[in-house]
Structure 1
Amino acid sequence: MTRTGLALGLCLAAASVFATPPAPTPAVDAATEAADAEPMPGGALQDREFGVRSDRFGLERRVEMHQWRRDGADYRRVWNAAPIDSTGFPPEYLNPPELPLESERWWAPAPTLAGRPLDREVLTALGRWVEFRPDFARLPANLAAAFQPEGNGLGSAENPLAPQVGDVRIRWYELTLPDLDGRVELRDGTWQLAPGAMEAARTPADPFIALPVTEARVLREPWAWAVGGFAIVLLVALVWRGARKRDD
């Protein structure tokens, strides 16, 4: 074979090698994609009245008031998240007609898994509310004067060991998610509960009380915190004053 023929043969062989298409990359199915990914909440949540923040999938403020409850022929004081109707109670056992501030719940604004939307039902069915102790560094000064640390939250009682009717205590909870592998499936571009996941899950996300559903709140200016905080302090003071008058 001549040098020219040898060179031509080598060129043709090289061309055939480079012309061979690469092997296709194996497709990653949705189940594998979900198993390898961590769910993301899509933004921070905030209880802006108290400056409490969370980077989980839900944030809940639970408010309870110390009230009288009928117990057979007697009356006893209890912490309760809703007003206890004291119509017909003796005057010394009357309760304030309403709580000075509401419990409230915020949901993650745009939760995702592997870059795709995560249906709200996944959060409500599989999520678990866990109490946490917030950093109260952002607590407005007027609220800091009305409440003091009590357990993991705040309380309005002068003596937490001897609360009076009308006193309020507040706790905060975050919504956490378990491992979603095998519990969700991709339908119409959204991760939704897989068949049987609801039955295998624990009871739906702790329906403590009927809380207003609030979307994620963005940070706002300090002066707005102060205005909201002043309103809360005023309401607490009015409830406390009314309870004191009845006690007297």
Structure 2
Amino acid sequence: MKWRRAAFALSLSCVLSATAAFAQTGVDDAPMDAPKPGKALRDRDFGVSTRQFGLERRVEMYQWRADGDGYTRVWHSVPIDSKGFDAQHRNPSKLPLEGRRWWAQDATLDGRVIDPAVLRTLGQWRVFRPNFSRLPANLAASFQPEGDGLGSAENPLDPQVGDLRIHWRELHLPPLDDKVELRGDRWQLTPAAAAQALSAERASTVVELAQDQDRQLLPWLLGAAAILVGVGLLWRRLRRRRVAH
């Protein structure tokens, strides 16, 4: 049984290697400069802005939550349904403010547009502390700086049910070498980067194969790997011929 699992793992490795080899066919279009986010993104309600590739406003409300035979208070980003709670442990029916996201619409790399899917797939959200000098007067009366964001509690150490806290995050892009390729007039994910992102998304999902099914699939997986490698090499040769002429 162990050798079957090992062979199956080897075949999967071959398929992934073939996918990466196929992705290298676009190596001639590898980006050279750092990506540029374009125009600044703004949360006009709070006067918060960033020059990164995305901006997110995260809103949480202090609420009651059922905990065994009793209740506990927690920060939560969506309303907790308290219809079944007793009268002393009711939550507001909705958040007074909504969380939002803004995405860069004109991000470029080497002067070409970056497809929005690249931002959503490869971007990394990081908390930052905005400059609240442009906080509107009506909101300044309700919120005060608290940590990296704002809070509505009179005493941040003793918040009450219904109090809000707000944080902002900005989207950073990692180096895009070998992760994007130029198709038409825009940068898009390479097959390898897309496959890796999909694999990470499904990392917690484990599929158990029926007995002997892994051995039955082995020839098909190896054949698919060989086909992908062949197609990748053929495509690379054709590209080189076009460049030479």
Question: Pairwise mapping of residues 91-110 of structure 1 onto structure 2 (< 5 A)?
Answer: 91-110=87-106
Q: Which amino acid aligns with 2:190?
A: A
Report the equivalent of 1:129: 125
2:173 is the alignment partner of 1:177: yes
State the identity as a percent: 60
- What amino acid maps onto 2:182 in structure 1? L
Q: Which residue of the partner structure matches residue 153 of structure 1?
A: 149
Alignment-mate amino acid for residue 114 of structure 2? L
- Return the alpha-carbon distance in structure 2 between the equivalents of residues 65 and 47 of structure 1: 19
Tell me which residue corresponds to 2:60: 64
Distance 2:170 2:164 in 1: 20
**1:115 alignment counterpart:** 111
Gaps of 5+ in 1: 1-28, 205-248
Of the candidates 73, 78, 87, which is equivalent to residue 74 of structure 2?
78
Q: Deviations over 1:121-169 (max 9, x none)?
A: 1001000110000000111122111101101000000000110000000
Aligned residues: 176
Contact kept in structure 1, 2:179 and 2:190, CA below 8 Å: yes
Corresponding residue of 1:143: 139
Partner of 1:44: 40
> CA 1:182/1:119 → structure 2, altered by over 3 Å: closer, same or farther?
same
Post-superposition shift, 1:34? Answer: 4.1
How big is each residue's C-alpha offset from its partner over 1:43-93, in whole Å with a ceiling of 9 and x where there is no partner?
100000100010000000000000001112111000000000001100000
| Structure 2 CA distance for aligned equivalents of residues 88 and 200 of structure 1 | 43
Rounded to whole Å, the distance in 1 between the matches of 2:155 and 2:194 is 44
One-letter code aligned to 1:70: A
Find the counterpart in structure 1 of residue 235 from structure 2.
Answer: none
1:125/1:203 contact within 8 Å kept: no
Partner of 1:188: 184
TM-score (norm 2): 0.69
Assess, with a 3 A threshold, how the Cα gap between structure 1 residues 83 and 185 changes in structure 2: closer, same or farther: same
Q: Counterpart amino acid of 1:100?
A: P
**Residue 194 of structure 2 is aligned with which of 189, 195, 198?**
198
Partners of 1:179 and 1:164 in 2: how far apart? 43
Aligned residue runs from structure 1 range 19-34, under 5 A: 31=27, 34=30
Q: What SS does the aligned partner of 2:73 have?
A: strand
Please, which runs of 5 or more residues in structure 2 have no aligned partner? 1-24, 202-245
Report the alpha carbon displacement of residue 200 of structure 1 after superposing the two structures with TM: 3.2
CA deviation vs aligned residue, 1:12-68 (integer Å, no higher than 9, x gap):
xxxxxxxxxxxxxxxxx9746644211111210000010001000000000000000
Structure with higher helix content: 2
Q: CA RMSD in A?
A: 1.7
Report if aligned partners of 1:66, 1:78 keep a CA contact under 8 Å in 2: yes
